[in-house]
Amino acid sequence: MNTTGKFRLQHYLFHLTIISLLIIYTGCSDRPAENATAEPEVQTLGHVDVMNDELENILNIDAKPEILGEGFQWTEGPVWVEEHGFLLFSEIPANTIHRWSETDGMSVYLNPAGYTGDTGRGGELGSNGLIIGNNGELLLCQHGDRRIARMDAPTDQPAPEFSTIAGTYQDSRFNSPNDLVQHSSGSIYFTDPPYGLEGYVNDPAKELDFQGVFRVDPDGTVTLLTDELTRPNGLAFSPDEQLLYVANSDPRNAIWMVYDVLENGDIANGRLFYDVTEHVGTAPGLPDGMKVRSDGTIFATGPVGVWIFSPNAEALGVIKTGEAISNVALDGDENFLYMTANSYILRLAL
Instruction: Tell me the Ramachandran region of residue 304: left when phi exceeds 0, alpha when psi lies from -120 to 50, beta otherwise.
Output: left
CATH of domain 45-349: 2.120.10.30
Residue 204: is its pLDDT beyond 60?
yes
The better pLDDT of the pair 118, 286 is held by 286
Listed in order, strand segments (DSSP E) in 3-65 are: 47-50
Give residue 39's pLDDT band: very low, low, confident or very high (50, 70, 90): low
Alpha carbons 88 and 268: distance in angstroms, whole number: 33
* pLDDT the model gives residue 229: 98
Eight-state DSSP code of residue 273: E
Alpha carbons 230 and 227: distance in angstroms, whole number: 8
Q: What angle do CA 256, 258, 261 make, to 5 degrees?
A: 150
Q: Is 167 exposed, middle or buried (0-12, 13-18, 19+ CB in 10 A)?
A: middle
> Mean pLDDT throughout 161-187?
98
Give residue 17's pLDDT band: very low, low, confident or very high (50, 70, 90): low
Measure CA 93 to chain center: 17
Give residue 41's pLDDT band: very low, low, confident or very high (50, 70, 90): confident
Residue 5: is its pLDDT beyond 70?
no
Give residue 155's pLDDT band: very low, low, confident or very high (50, 70, 90): confident
Give residue 7's pLDDT band: very low, low, confident or very high (50, 70, 90): very low
* pLDDT the model gives residue 220: 97
Give residue 38's pLDDT band: very low, low, confident or very high (50, 70, 90): low
Residue 36: is its pLDDT beyond 80?
no
Contact 303, 284 (CB under 8 A): yes
Transcribe 183-217 into DSSP letters: -TTS-EEEEE-STTSTTGGG-TT---SS-EEEEE-
Average pLDDT of the chain is 91
What phi, psi does 25 have (nearest 5°)?
-65, -45
pLDDT in tens, 156-172: 779 889 999 999 999 99
pLDDT in tens, 53-101: 999 999 999 999 999 999 999 999 999 999 999 999 999 999 999 999 9
* pLDDT the model gives residue 32: 46
The better pLDDT of the pair 125, 123 is held by 125
Pairing of strands 138-142, 127-132: antiparallel
Please name which of 261, 247, 227 lies closest in space to residue 290, comparing C-alpha atoms: 247
* pLDDT the model gives residue 52: 97
Residue 27: is its pLDDT beyond 70?
no
In the chain, the percentage of residues whose pLDDT exceeds 90 is: 84
The better pLDDT of the pair 123, 48 is held by 48
Contact 137, 186 (CB under 8 A): no
Residue 18: is its pLDDT beyond 70?
no
> Mean pLDDT throughout 259-288?
97
User: Is the pTM higher than 0.85?
Assistant: yes
Which residues are within 8 A (CB) of 268 and not within 5 positions of it... i.e. 6 or more apart? 259, 260, 262
Please name which of 102, 74, 73 lies closest in space to residue 87, comparing C-alpha atoms: 102
Residue 28: is its pLDDT beyond 60?
no
